[in-house]
Amino acid sequence: MNLRFGSVNLQANAHEWNEFGLACTTWVFGQCVFAVPYWKAHIDLSVVGYSAVSFVMNIFSMDPPAVTSSTIPCLNYINVGSPAFAAGLVTATAFEVPLIALLFASVFVPGAAEAASLAWASAIILGLPLILGLVPQLYATKSDRVSYAAAVLGMFLPLISFASAAANVIEILVRGGLAAIPWPDV
């Protein structure tokens, strides 16, 4: 996969392959007397020149997957104590709080709040590249630019996941009769 961000071109690779064989479990006088089959599923994900993650899952055993990764060079530039990181958190929060409020409101007032949350989420999706595109004009150092972008992107995923999960829990409570809110079947 080729990714292009402005003038930066990145190449990402995803490889999946299987490894089959026999593993000796019992040895007697240096000779294998009992072997069992094994199947290892390998998944390798990498962005060429930046980072790589490899998962090895043992299908026939209860062993946890083995995970190896290379360091991501840009993480060295993130400074959580910088004013740029704090500004990224404030920017992301300013976008997220109204969306979370609308998602919760959509549980109690379906229809209008759902439409408003859809419109706000669309504005976030369309506005995020603009926000991140302005970062080079806002900050002169690479550390500040990466810190700001990391804060913005780091805030979006967990908050949206939390809000969606909380809205689902409220919906289950309402539909189950544990909360006294009228709920129309749509």
40, amino acid identity: K
Torsion, CA 22, CA 26, CA 31, CA 33, rounded to 10: -70
pLDDT of residue 166: 59
pLDDT (tens digit, 9 = 90+) per residue, 95-150? 878 877 777 777 777 777 777 777 777 777 777 777 777 777 788 888 888 888 88
Question: What is the average pLDDT value for the chain, to the nearest integer?
Answer: 75
E strand spans, the chain? 2-5, 8-28, 31-47, 51-58, 66-69
Mean pLDDT of 49-72: 75
More confident residue, 3 or 171: 3
Indicate the burial class of 98 (C-beta count within 10 angstroms; 0-12, 13-18, 19 or more).
middle
Mean pLDDT of 36-47: 84
